Amino acid sequence: MLKIIFTGNLGRDAEIRETKEFKAINFSVGVKVSKEETKWIDCAMFRKLDQSTIIVDYLKKGTKVLIEGEPSAQEHNGKAYLKVRVSNVELLGGAPAPTQTQTIANDDVPF
């Protein structure tokens, strides 16, 4: 098995898609390869229908993550795209996602 490990930031909130057998958690990660260039990697985690998908609450745009998984490439309109079937996700810092009972509304915060 081929394995890849990388860090980057989510470019969009994760989404869940269900099939008859699995739940697919899809998201994209931007990896800075130089000052001027960012590579985008499409990621997918698969869960059985009875497994938890709580991780989606934390996979929000801008979140820094470490991804481990099996890479594959796909070509579309003459351009190559890297995809990863994710086996492990680690959240790297940042505040946890707010819950329904937790609000973030302090206009006095200077950032």
Give residue-wise pLDDT tens across range 11-23. 999 999 998 889 9
CATH code of the domain in which 69 resides: 2.40.50.140
Structural tokens at position 69: 């998984």
**Nearest alpha carbon to residue 27 among 87, 95, 94, 84:** 84
Whole-structure pTM value: 0.77
Q: Which residue has the tokens 């898609």?
A: 17
Q: Quick one: residue 77, left, alpha or beta (phi over 0 = left, psi -120 to 50 = alpha)?
A: left
**Nearest alpha carbon to residue 95 among 80, 107, 111:** 111
Q: What is the pLDDT of residues 34-81, one digit of tens each?
A: 999 999 999 999 998 888 888 999 999 999 999 999 999 888 888 888
Domain count, the chain: 1
Domain limits for position 10 = 4-91
Structural tokens at position 42: 């499409």
